[in-house]
Amino acid sequence: MTTATSAFTLSPEHTSEMHELYKHLHATPELSMQETRTAAFIREKLDELGLETFTCGGTGVVGILRNGDGPVVGYRADTDGLPIQEDTGLEYASTATGRLPDGSEVPVMHGCGHDTHITVGLTTARLLTENRDTWAGTAVFIFQPGEETGAGAKAMVEDGLWDKAPKPAIIYGQHVWPGLSGTVNVSKGTAMAMANSWKVTVHGKQSHGSQPEQSIDPIVMAAHMVVRIQTIVSREVHPMKSAVVTIGTFHAGLKENIIPASAEFTLNIRTFDPEVRDLVLSSLRRIINAEAAASGAPEPTIEEITSFPQCYNDPSSANDLLAVFGDELGHDAVFETPPVMGSEDFGLLAEAIGVPSVYWFFGGHSQEDLDSDTPPAGNHSPFFAPEIEPTLTTGVRAAVVAMLSKLGIAA
């Protein structure tokens, strides 16, 4: 184990280049699993530092910094943007567009802060490279695509990530959020929720509105499903457990006097406990199929849209990190917090090789902004705009000391 030194302090040159890097990335986002230019840019920066690099999982990039014998430590940053029209008014605001899988063109924005994550990851790689004389071991930098769709970590693992890169003893990751700049928040144990999203197509029988007896009305059927689904959390999940079930969309029909042949809705499920997730998913299938049977309709079609694994912080490693962050940032800037209902696929990277991981949050807004009558916008908002400093510097300091806390001391 080693600790951060004054050699790792960001110089004015480092800071200026980091800010320009961030502004460039913010202005040039790409959609999930389409991060071709972003991946090329990241690999170019890692190549300039002399790291071994390879692509993985389509648009994922891995950089390996070997520095003699010692522990292997992993660090992950996600790289994709969102289909959002940016409305921040920043001079470096995104005007980029992309295409969804259905071919439609949409605006693209780094509305979740992944531009911040890439910037922090690349700057951390630079600092470790320039200060090899203070540590020993191997740092593995994982720039992962497709976090927003839950596809990226899975794609990298299935593409042989851990056959191509040294297997780390621990993997770290972090995420900017609408908290106070200069602070970090760490959870022990469960850090973020698991998430599952489904598309449900309810099959009925079409008829003219004046002849309802000849129909099997999919709208009425689906409406009963939606209402009954809301009882799962209130009547089937233990009161001391957490779950959220959201119906996000509902579509059916084209004209007011025609009973359509089908209806479609999508839903999202958030849970912390794997047993609760299994219960909720099972109950959803039971209710959906039973309501169809009660209407004399065919079995509905259920398609999985996304699935996010549990994001679990190894308690011992998280406890160590709280102390490390306190020493680096000041103990009044470091908080232990309960898990959040947001979801991440980060945990799959460590789960695939059976090693611990820790994921934390760092704030992106000033106290003045947080105290204002109109608090700053959160992640996934068209107005999401973390202040550049001390946000970026805090992220870099946290990443550097986390990795150094597990890397070896130079001989």
Let me know if 373 is a catalytic residue.
no
Question: Using CA atoms, how far apart are residues 395 and 385, in angstroms rounded to an integer?
Answer: 16
Question: Of the candidates 324, 315, 325, which has an alpha carbon nearest to the alpha carbon of residue 356?
Answer: 315
Question: Of the candidates 202, 192, 256, which has an alpha carbon nearest to the alpha carbon of residue 225?
Answer: 202
Let me know if 147 is a catalytic residue.
yes
Tokens of 315: 């308690």
Catalytic residue among 30, 35, 78, 80: 80
Question: 40 near 145, Cβ under 8 Å?
Answer: no
Catalytic residue among 30, 35, 78, 147: 147
Tokens of 21: 């890097």
Tokens of 85: 């029209």
Question: Of the candidates 28, 33, 41, 37, which has an alpha carbon nearest to the alpha carbon of residue 58?
Answer: 33
Question: Using CA atoms, how far apart are residues 138 and 135, in angstroms rounded to an integer?
Answer: 9
Question: Of the candidates 165, 168, 186, 169, which has an alpha carbon nearest to the alpha carbon of residue 177?
Answer: 186
| Alpha helical stretches, state H, 211-357 | 218-229, 231-235, 274-294, 315-329, 347-351
Give Cβ neighbours of residue 160 (< 8 Å, ≥ 6 apart).
56
- Bridge partners, 249 (sequence order): 266
Q: Is 249 exposed, middle or buried (0-12, 13-18, 19+ CB in 10 A)?
A: exposed
Active-site positions read 80, 147
